[in-house]
Amino acid sequence: MKSIIFIMGMISACGPSELKTDKQKMDTAQTESPTEAEPVGIITSEDCQQIDIGDKACNFRLTDQTGKTWDLYEHSGQVIVLDFSAVWCYPCQLAGDHSQTIQDEFQDDGVQMVTVLVDGATSGLGPTEEEVEYWANSHGITTAPVLQGSREKMIDSQVPGATEEPGVTGYLLNAFPTYLYIGRDMKFYAGHVGFSEEYVRQKIQEGL
């Protein structure tokens, strides 16, 4: 199978030395009932994972910049672009400047740009509500959700001795920003690390 993420040359990205999660916190998040509309992060099931092109994405719920819960599966039928970023990451900030422009261009085609902030201003610490709201406002984002994520909720723990398959409890992220593209069938069709406005547009066109 083709891996969902590949490294793009000549495109800057932030790569912290460690992108680890707290396994216990992630397990707690997974025990939330999927019928509860709460921002629980990744919701696992037997028919989904986040590791190869063609995999069905697992559902997730996070809070957006308006304080509402955003549910991935509620957007089935759209082409979804997931931008995993961090507030402290300069290339992520550059990418954020283009999110609304790209959203405006492709909105009528059923495309949804989504920014998932995994870290806040400090590496390893999740963003605050204020940081999520500031990110949206400072980048002029109005119709593309900016979500309050965390490493515990969104990154695969991969701790020694783990019994789960990799890419089930979270995403295998190694750097920021990481872009993943989900087709109208909720399956991944592309992914890359780093930002290029032209390349993002090209990948969106492939999913239309």
CATH number of the CATH domain containing 88? 3.40.30.10
Beta-carbon contacts of 19 under 8 Å, excluding residues fewer than 6 positions away, are 151, 155, 173, 174, 175
Q: What pLDDT is recorded for position 189?
A: 98
Name the one residue in this structure whose structure tokens are 């992108």: 19
Domain count across the chain = 1
Domain of residue 120, residue span: 53-158+170-207
Q: Would residue 130 count as lying in a domain? A: yes
Residue 71 has pLDDT above 80, yes or no: yes
Please say whether the beta carbons of 112 and 100 come within 8 A.
no
Q: Would residue 22 count as lying in a domain? A: no
Q: Would residue 48 count as lying in a domain? A: no
Residue-wise pLDDT for 122-180, tens only, equals 999 999 999 999 999 999 999 999 999 999 999 987 655 556 667 788 998 989 999 99
Q: What pLDDT is recorded for position 50?
A: 92
Q: Would residue 92 count as lying in a domain? A: yes
Instruction: Report DSSP state, residue 76.
Output: T
Beta-carbon contacts of 121 under 8 Å, excluding residues fewer than 6 positions away, are 87, 88, 127, 131
Please say whether the beta carbons of 7 and 22 come within 8 A.
no
Please state the separation of Cα 169 from the chain's center in Å: 13
Tally of CB atoms within 10 A around 194: 20
CA atoms within 13 A on the CB side of 111: 24
Q: What pLDDT is recorded for position 30?
A: 45
Q: Would residue 31 count as lying in a domain? A: no
Q: How far apart are CA 190 and CA 182, in angstroms?
A: 8
What are the CA-CA distances from residue 37 to residues 34, 96, 107 (Å)?
A: 7, 27, 25
Q: Would residue 1 count as lying in a domain? A: no
Q: What pLDDT is recorded for position 184?
A: 98
Tally of CB atoms within 10 A around 100: 17
Residue 23 has pLDDT above 70, yes or no: no
Residue-wise pLDDT for 1-11, tens only, equals 567 665 454 45
Strand partners, 63: 69, 148
Residue 63 has pLDDT above 50, yes or no: yes
Q: Would residue 164 count as lying in a domain? A: no
Q: Would residue 38 count as lying in a domain? A: no
Question: What integer is the mean pLDDT of 43-66?
Answer: 95
Name the one residue in this structure whose structure tokens are 């396994």: 23
